[in-house]
Amino acid sequence: MKKSQIQWMTAVVLLGIAGWRFWVFLSSQSGPSERAYFYDLSEKKLFVAERGLVPPIRGINDAVEDGVRAVVIAPAGRCEDEKARRIAYLETSAPELKKALDAARASGEPPAIGRGVAQGLRWVRRLSDADWVAITSEEGERIVSEWAVPGPDGLSPSVCSPP
């Protein structure tokens, strides 16, 4: 066999291996989780529910809608470690926003509330705070960004999705 034929065959084999590995990588990517963390305010416990639900939702112990979205973080690469995870902040919706978004979801139509108005009706707070503030307020912006400070390793925490 000639040297050029061997080079061509090697290149084809290597290209085939690279293509196969790329295909395996793409097929293993499951995309974003369809579930999200929520926090039951009366039970003071995390639970998992469908990502598309608009908080507040029914909590884990009764029919009371005291389940709010929880943004859970962990040091980079440690989301699987339950002991490393913590709640960065909680998020809920004003009653009029919840009503509009739930109606839109049920009908399949766009919400009857503008995006700008909707943002002002999303409320956040730290786990230790008593009061909710609009996410668009100065304090709200501080709450949703203060957790993203790099740790001693120089890496910012990761937002975790339920397994």
Predicted confidence pLDDT, tens digits, the chain (163 residues): 777 777 766 655 555 565 556 555 554 445 556 999 999 999 999 999 999 999 999 999 888 899 999 999 999 989 999 999 999 999 999 999 999 999 998 898 888 888 888 899 999 999 999 999 999 999 999 999 999 999 888 889 999 999 8
pLDDT value at residue 33: 66
pLDDT value at residue 79: 94
Q: How far apart are CA 91 and CA 36, in angstroms?
A: 12
- State the Rg of the chain over Cα: 23
Between the alpha carbon of residue 162 and those of residues 29, 68, 107, 154, 159, the distances in Å are 16, 15, 28, 25, 10
pLDDT value at residue 28: 47
pTM here is: 0.76
Structure-block tokens of residue 81? 């470690």
Burial (CB count within 10 angstroms: exposed 0-12, middle 13-18, buried 19+), residue 51: middle
